[in-house]
Structures are given as structure tokens and as C-alpha cells.
Amino acid sequence: MNTDMLSVAAAWKAAGEDVAIATVTETWGSSPRPTGSQLVVTKSGKLEGSVSGGCIEGAVAEAAVRTIESGVPQLLDFGVSNEQAWEVGLACGGKVKVFVERLA
Amino acid sequence: MTPETLAALTEARAAKRPVVLATRLTDGVQLLLPSDAASPDLNAAALRALDRDENATKEIDGAAWFLHAYAPPVRLVIVGAVHIAQSLVPMAAHLGVSLTVVDPRRSFATEDRFPNVTLMDDWPDEAMDKIAPDARTAIITLTHDPKLDDPALDRALKSEAFYIGSLGSKKTHAARLARLTALGHDEAALARIKGPVGLDIGAITAPEIALSILAEFIVYRRRLGKA
């Protein structure tokens, strides 16, 4: 298991993939992964790492593809206050902010 | 992230130079800190983040910045390429620490037994002088053998190592402390040695003992910079 997401991102980029990096920048309550946790996403659909216990990775990956296409970074906000808590929120009741950027 | 930033960050980490990747969350502007190009407040926040080994969003100069601390990995030095070390090493590898195993007995410290680990066959005091333990280094002795453990512990106590553990029963440990006292270490210094090493979880087998040792190591590792 490679725990260094930057090296994963760099390797995928070098292999010709379009890559985005998502990073947990803030947490409240019982969010499962600490700040600095990263998920690397490619436009072709590869994923490595995590920013939650698996609850929001899908939504983050979708946002990452948009950031890859537009080049514009995003700051995503997930939490139970979200109307769609059970779809893209955190079942644990925590809240996280996730910064998504393209690896140029 | 620009290719230049990624290259600079990768280079700093390869050189084990502590750096902070600062990202302005409103527009994604990034800086590698500390840097002459950054404001004094940003640089000060970066040094604090490194000291505390902490990734956090901070309000600086009127903007939200995410400070991602890339400190070099904590070093874990294991003295004694013994059976418990064979359980300890692969478990510790998952904790993201930089591992060194010291044992002058060459039939113990072999690459077959310890693949992908830095092995040193120097006598423990000489190995420790080369390793130069600092405040981000942990040292665990596992040999039970005074002529190997004691010189390592002597050097460990003279360093700022944040965790020092020594395998052995209460009786073994008492005898060990008496010998180290004779070497000139006082009570306060000796209290730094965790012995018997590890959290008391009733461990019996080598993997269980390894787990109890690493659990105790984590207690101290997570307190780094937060005293």
C-alpha cells in the first residue's frame, strides 16, 4: 500500500493521465480522516487514497473531474447539515472541507 | 498544483528538508514555506505547523490558507534483529516511520530477515553515534543482552529521543537501571526509559508484543511538539 499520495499523483501524471488531488483541509466532530488526508483522482476513473471512510469519495471524484476539465480549484463542504446527508454526507455525523486541485 | 511546485516539494522531501505547502483556499495559489517571498505571518505559521506536525487551515493576512506540513518521517531505531523485531518492523513500516535495525550479530541482521529496512551491523553505541538521534527519533532495544542494550540506551539517554523503550521483565529492567546508574545516569534520565516496554494489553506472542510496543510509541509520537 502506497500511503504517499503525492508520489501516486506524480506517477499517474507522468504516465499521461489527467490528475486531480483532493485534500482534507478542515474537520469538525467525528470525521474519519485527519486534515492532510488525500485522494488522487484521474479523469479516466482511477482512485487512490481517501478523504473519508468512503462516504464522500464518489462526490469528490465527480468534482475532481470537473476541476480537471476547468482547471479551477474547488473547496467542497460536506456535513450532516447537508440536505442529502445520507447520499453525500458523513454517516458518522462529522463535517469536512475538501480542497480539490488539478495537477497541471 | 504546478509542475514546479510538485518538483520543489518532491525534492525537499527527498532531501528530508521540512517544508510546508501553503494553499490559499480562495484561488489555489500555492507557496512552499518557509520562503523569502512569503509574509512574516505565513512563515511563522508554517514553522509552527512543522513544529507541531499539524495540517490545518489558518486565517492569515486576511485569507484562508491550508498549511500542509511535510516534516521528514519520524525515525525508529530498533536494536536487536530478534524475533520480535521481525514482527515489529513490518507493522512499523505501515506507520510511515523511517526504520533502522541495529545488530552487530550478522546472522541476525540479514536482508532475508529484514527486507527493505536500513540494517546496521555496527556495535550499538557506534551505530547510535552515526544515527545521531534527535527529538524526532524513537529507540527501542530488544536484545535483553546488556552488552548490546546498555550502550544503545546510554547513547539514547544522552540524546533528545522522544521515546526510549527497552524489552525485558521488571526484574531485568531493575538490573538494567542499576547498571545505567553506574554509568552516571540519574533517576530523571532513567525515567525516560519505558520498561517493561509497551502498553499492558496482556501481549504474549511476538506480534502481540510488537503491537503493544507500537501502541505506546504512538502515544509519544502524537504528543510531539504539543507538550
Calculate the alpha carbon distances from B187 to B157, B181, B184 in Å. Answer: 11, 8, 10
| Closest chain B residue by Cα to residue A4 | B96
* B6 to A3: CB separation less than 8 angstroms, yes or no: no
**Percent above pLDDT 70 for chain B:** 99
Could you tell me how far CA B21 lies from the centroid of its own chain?
Answer: 22
Task: Evaluate if residue A88 carries a pLDDT over 60.
Answer: no
Name the residue among A6, A25, A36 with its Cβ closest to that of B25.
A25
pLDDT of residue B125 exceeding 90: yes
pLDDT exceeds cutoff 80 at A62: yes
Residue A55, pLDDT score: 78
B70 in Cβ contact with B46 (< 8 Å): no
Sign of the Cα pseudo-torsion (B145, B151, B152, B158, in order): positive
C-alpha angle B186-B188-B193 in degrees, rounded to nearest 5:
95
SS3 (DSSP) at B172: helix
B30 C-beta neighbours (distance < 10 Å), count: 22
Q: How far is B86 from chain A (nearest CA, A)?
A: 19
Q: Could A10 and B10 be called an inter-chain contact, meaning their C-beta atoms sit closer than 8 Å?
A: yes
Average pLDDT over residues B91-118: 92
* Domain hosting residue A94, numbered range: 5-103
Which residues contact residue B183 at a Cβ distance below 8 angstroms, ignoring those fewer than 6 apart? B150, B154
Is B10 part of the contact surface with chain A (CB cutoff 8 Å)?
A: yes
Average pLDDT over chain B, rounded to an integer: 94
pLDDT more than 90, % of chain A: 62
In the numeric block, which cell numbers belong to residue B47? 514553522
Chain A residue with CA closest to B30: the answer is: A101
- pLDDT for A79 equals 75
Work out how many domains chain A is built from and give that number. 1
Q: Is the ipTM of this complex over 0.95?
A: no
pLDDT at A85: 47
Q: Which domains does chain B have, with CATH numbers?
A: 3-70 (no CATH), 75-221 (3.40.50.720)
Instruction: Judge whether residue A36 has pLDDT over 80.
Output: yes
User: Does residue A6 belong to the interface with chain B, where contact is any CB pair within 8 Å?
Assistant: yes
Residue A2, pLDDT score: 58
SS3 B101: strand
CA distances from B65 to A37, B1, B72 (A): 16, 15, 22
B181-215 pLDDT tens trace = 999 999 999 999 999 999 999 999 999 999 999 99
Give the sign of the dihedral formed by CA B100, CA B106, CA B107, CA B112.
positive
